[in-house]
Structure 1
Amino acid sequence: MVTLLCENSIEAIVSKIALASIGVTAAPINPSLNTAVMIPLVNRLSPKLLVCDSQFIDKAEEVSSGCGVDIAFSININGDSKNRTSFKGFTSNSSVNPVCENIHGDDIWEILFTSGSSSLPKGVMVSHIKTYFEALSFSNITPLKLSQPSQITVCSYLPIIYHVGFCMLLAGILSGGKTVIGRGLNFRSLAETIERERVTTLWAGSPQALELTATEYAALNGGKNVLKNAIFGWGAMSPKVYREIKKSFGDEFSGIAIIGQTESCCAHRFFIDEHPEIFETECPQENYIGLPSPLLGAAIEYVEGVSVTNESGEVQNGEAVYRSPAMMAGYYKDPEATKEALSGGWFHSGDNFGLMSKGQRTMIDRIKDVIKTGGENVSSIRVEGIINQFSSVSRSAVIGVPHKKWGEAVIALVILKEGVEYDELSLISHLKKKLSSFEVPKSIILEQSFPEPVGGKVQKYKLREKYKNIFQQ
């Protein structure tokens, strides 16, 4: 096993693919993590070698010392490698025909840590088959509106070395096209890349990231109908914002909302332009995520205290459960968590889904994030969707905290847009018009940033811990 502390680069991608091709497991770790978190993770992995970007050489040396693992080489990007062996030096005498003996599709080629949005990261065991099927599932939708799949150019500036986006990269290759990656989420640079490389499919991340990319692209006066589709997730998008995005990229542009997990990334997909009546009338109050990929067996399972059934006894909302060839083998060195997650032969996602008209599904909330206040269940995602419609709000995170009267109280953490005026009374009035009384936050708190390990996935458990005594004081 080899641990990688790397951001996006060609060298890091080649390293991962090379390790897979010779039957060695890659274990990438988010290099932005504190070493106090990294060292226990690396000790759990017990790798033989460590690879890092020179940008993170100080962290790598601390991990190397703390875990007793040697640094194989450093990728010379954004920092001094301190005379460590370089990627070029390490590979200069390598064979162009590496030995690949007895590699099976079920072999574990990667340990991929969860983002830790609800707990500390768990190591997901990823097989060759899982990754191939995930890439195949996205290669079926990324060439949309192209006459030939090989015309595709997939692009992402999101982390793909230590995050699930690696299957997006492979989707472009499976289609016979090309993939363009960036390092660091710079929206101006991303817009310029879309224009220069004639990008046809963008893995954008959050709705906010896609909106900012479209704004920069419009400022460039970029060519219309270059970008054919963008895939996004992690939250609902408003129709007003979507219309502006479509205006920036052209009439041929379409958005695809998805939801997937590290454990199973053959996603649900909601094709916005195929369901304009649903999107225009119900979003972003409802976070539509559509239907599952044909490669994903998915069902909604009853959960006591959360689910709702109709008169026929069908589950109208409950926990999303999956089974598929594109499924994790389990959590590394964590048999209890594996047994719990895969009980009954299905992966239990922890997501609360709703079943809507035409079989379309909505993401109601993470089951752990459903707020139970005064006998009512509140979807934090629904409340966030309404808050984010307010003109001066950039992002929001809604959580439940202990309250003597209500059990839990709804509070909203809000990040404002730069350079705009903010009036809290106007925001509260906006919320009261669109939400039930029990959904309206009891407190609105301004924040500069949210704890988030990757993209827009907020670590709400940290926010709940921070504000757990706000109504006790």
Structure 2
Amino acid sequence: MQLTQALTRAVQTRATSTATIYKDRKRSWKEVGERVPRLAAGLRGLGLKPGDRLAVLAFNSDNYIELFFAAAWANLVLVPLNTRWAVPENLYSLRDAECSGLLLDDAFAPQGAELLAGHPMAHVVHMGDAPTPPGMHAYEALIAGSKPMPDECGRNDELCGICYTGGTTGDPKGVMLSHTNFITASINWIATLHFSDQTVYLHSAGLFHLAGSSPAFALTLAGGTHVCLPKFDAVLAFEAIQKHRINYVLFVPTMINMMLNHPDFDKYDLTSVRYCEYGASPMPDAVLAAAIEKLPTWEFIQGYGMTETAALTVSLPWRYHFDGEHGKAKRQAAGRASYGVDVRIVDEEGREVPRGTPGEIAVRGAQVMLGYWKKPEATAAAIRNGWMHTGDGAWMDEDGFIYIVDRVKDMIISGGENIYSKEVENAVHAHPSVRECAVIGVPDEKWGEAVLAVVALKDGKTATAEEIIAHCHKLIANYKCPRQVAFVDALPLSGAGKVLKNVLRDPYWKGKKRSVN
């Protein structure tokens, strides 16, 4: 298995079809197939050697899609940097991965001097459309000035990419992913999520994240069409769907919520979309219900995975969002194990627990990472007896459906009772004035920890803390209800659209030796 197989197949079978659309620029698969070997040769011509780490800090674009395959073609290890991180955080990744080269687009070219001051590199490429800054190589010039090189892609379990996790506890960890990881995940994606050569897909999740890159690899293997937004924006998404007749989208729940509540939502024709894959964080049931009602042509598919498993490992098809073969609607579930992946719920000793019993999700299969870059102890702690321990709390029903209750570390213990924030968040979200919410545990002298709901209200709506708490008492047990409500304009989000609960917790736990009480 090698990543470039995806590209060579697309060129062979879909040469004249549209491969990428970015702003007003379109390229066919034949054009991409001609550009990638030249770009690979240009990168190697700079002095980069097989196995060298090559970083990229850029928003989504057609060039970014090409770079994935050019780096693999040249047998370089790509290190996508997080566009939401501050310079010191990305500088940590550059140093940790010992990167030899860096590509920057127009938005991040100004950071080049600061990054290079902290980690000098001789090979810096500008991959934007503006004039190339002094001291950088021009992306298009590398392609135009290089003869195509033969495919020297690595294969099977050789290292292909290093993707850095959020680092909510300690320093970020570099997840080492192989060619087998990526190709297996791509085949899984095609089989599970219905990609085909007729798919016109909207990239709105950042390509630095597996929610962006994993579908990019799968869609290339399928020979579909990539439509790239630089980054998520509700109006840009509306416009792209309408203009290009997008038929497949992936949005994290916060993006869907923002779209549904946007004042211009009803101004656009969004009916071309057939499939919407959602994941990366739990979908509040109130948001999902609204999406099903307001977007009747869309079929929603839940996807669950993580960087360490090359993304998709569990999915919930559209039909299980409603009553059917398994009785009552299963849409509160993340789904069941996808193809080629073993999933089970285990206790602290790694033993599978009985159905219906909460535990930790463990995953085994060809998608599981090689390990964490230069962190053997962390690797050994995460992968035990061949099983990747995800840190996500869940239970499995008799039909094999998995219900995620929370991050294991996010569980709140109040008065000796275990409280999973997702259940509380679903209750808070059901209030008609609530746009977004996140539930965390904060120190409490009486109960050990108290439930705090951090809430952002819909535009033009009002609600008091007392009203929201009273609303929750109608839906969930008293001990689970928020004891406090904090109002904010918007929740802090990671580059992948996940709520940064550690940012919300920090002020309440400052000065404490532990983040549990």
Alignment TM-score > 0.5, same fold: yes
Letter in 1 for 2:417: E
Deviation at 1:327, TM superposition (A): 1.2
SS class of match (2:371): coil
1:307-322 correspondence runs (5 A): 316-322=357-363
Relative distance call for 1:384 and 1:282 in structure 2 (3 A) is farther
CA gap of 1:275–1:84, structure 2 versus 1, over 3 A, is: closer
1:429 paired residue among 459, 470, 474: 470
- Residues 1:93 and 2:145 aligned together: yes
Identify the match of residue 204 of structure 1 among 241, 251, 255: 251
Whether the aligned pair in 1 keeps the contact of 2:192 and 2:339 (CA below 8 Å) is: no
Q: How far apart in 2 are the matches of 1:275 and 1:448?
A: 31
Please state whether the residue corresponding to 1:398 is helix, strand or coil.
strand
Q: Deviations 1:62-116 (Å, cap 9, x if unpaired)? A: 11111122342112257973563321123221222x2334722211111001133
The match for 1:443 among 452, 468, 484 is 484
TM superposition shift of 1:244? 4.1
SS in 2 for 1:135: helix
In the alignment, which residue of structure 2 is the partner of 1:7? 59
- What CA distance in whole angstroms lies between the structure 1 residues aligned with 2:130 and 2:455? 33
Deviation, structure 1 residue 240: 5.4
The code of the aligned residue for 1:191 comes to F
Q: Measured at CA, do residues 407 and 214 of structure 1 come closer, stay the same or move farther in structure 2, by a change above 3 Å? A: closer
Residues 108-165 of structure 1, C-alpha deviations (whole Å, 9 max, x = no match): 1110011335554210001011111111111123337xxxx32221212110134442
2:124 aligned counterpart, secondary structure = strand
Tell which deviates more after alignment, 326-335 or 444-453.
444-453
The answer to whether the 8 Å contact 1:307/1:316 transfers is no
**Alpha carbons of 1:240 and 1:301: their partners in 2 closer, same or farther (altered >3 Å)?**
closer
Partner of 2:186: 135
Q: CA deviation at 1:368?
A: 0.3
For 1:261, the equivalent position in structure 2 comes to 306
Q: Tell whether the 8 Å contact from 1:54 to 1:75 is kept in structure 2 after alignment.
A: yes
Q: Which whole-Å CA distance do the structure 1 matches of 2:243 and 2:259 have between them?
A: 14
**After superposition, where does 1:68-87 map in structure 2 within 5 Å?**
68-77=120-129, 81-82=133-134, 84-87=136-139
**Hey, what's the Cα distance between the residues in 1 that align with 2:327 and 2:447?**
34
Q: Which residue of 2 aligns with 1:290?
A: 335
* TM-score, scaled relative to structure 1: 0.89
Q: Would you say the 8 A contact 1:28–1:112 is kept in 2? A: yes
**1:33 equivalent in structure 2:** 85
- Cα distance in structure 1, aligned partners of 2:290 and 2:450: 35
1:123 aligns with 2:174: yes
Q: Are 2:165 and 2:172, in contact at CA under 8 Å, matched by a contact in 1? A: yes
Matches of 1:210 and 1:461, distance apart in 2: 23
SS in 2 for 1:185: coil
Residue 410 in 1 paired to residue 485 in 2?
Answer: no
AA partner of residue 64 (structure 1):
L
Question: Would the aligned equivalents of 2:127 and 2:138 in 1 still touch at CA under 8 Å?
Answer: yes
2:93 is equivalent to residue 52 of structure 1: no
Q: Structure 1 171/63 Cα, relative in aligned 2: closer, same or farther at 3 Å? A: same
Cα pair 2:316 2:335 within 8 Å, conserved? yes
Partner of 1:187: 234
The 5 A counterparts of 1:66-465 are 66-77=118-129, 81-82=133-134, 84-96=136-148, 98-101=149-152, 103-117=154-168, 119-143=170-194, 149-206=196-253, 208-213=254-259, 219-222=266-269, 224=271, 226-237=272-283, 241-251=287-297, 253-264=298-309, 265-277=311-323, 287-303=332-348, 316-465=357-506
The count of aligned residue pairs is 457
C-alpha change, 1:371 and 1:222, in structure 2 (3 Å) is: same
Structure 2 counterpart of 1:123, one-letter code: G
Q: What is the CA–CA distance in structure 2 between the aligned matches of 1:193 and 1:120, rounded to whole Å?
A: 37
Contact 2:251 2:277 in 1 (8 A): yes
SS at match of 2:479: coil
TM superposition shift of 1:33: 1.4
* TM-score relative to the length of structure 2: 0.81
Give distance in 2, aligned partners of 1:384 and 1:254.
24
Is the contact between residue 157 and residue 185 of structure 1 (CA under 8 Å) also seen in structure 2?
yes
Q: Which moved more, 1:158-167 or 1:226-235?
A: 158-167
How far does residue 170 in structure 1 lie from its aligned partner after superposition? Answer: 2.3
2: distance between equivalents of 1:238 and 1:452? Answer: 16
5+ unaligned residues in a row in structure 2: which ranges?
1-52, 513-517
Q: Partner of 2:485: helix, strand, or coil?
A: strand
Counterpart amino acid of residue 344 in structure 2: A
Whole-Å separation in 1 of the counterparts to 2:87 and 2:327: 46
Q: Give me the whole-angstrom Cα distance separating, in 1, the residues matched to 2:206 and 2:113.
A: 22
- Distance apart, 1:451 and its partner CA: 3.3
Compared CA separation, residues 307 and 317, structure 1 to 2 (3 A): farther
CA distance in 1, matches of 2:270, 2:241: 10
Q: Structure 1 stretch 98-107 or stretch 421-430: which is displaced more?
A: 98-107
SS in 2 for 1:54: coil
Letter in 2 for 1:296: V
Cα distance change, pair 401–458 in 1 and its aligned pair in 2 (3 A): same
* Structure 2 counterpart SS, 1:368: helix
1:246–1:433 Cα change, 3 Å: closer
Q: 1:240 to 1:389 in 2, by over 3 A?
A: closer
User: 2:368, 2:441 → 1: CA distance?
Assistant: 32
- Would the aligned equivalents of 1:108 and 1:127 in 2 still touch at CA under 8 Å? yes
- CA separation of 1:470/1:388 partners in 2, compared to 1, >3 Å: closer, same or farther? farther
Tell me the amino acid that sits aligned with residue 266 of structure 1.
Answer: L
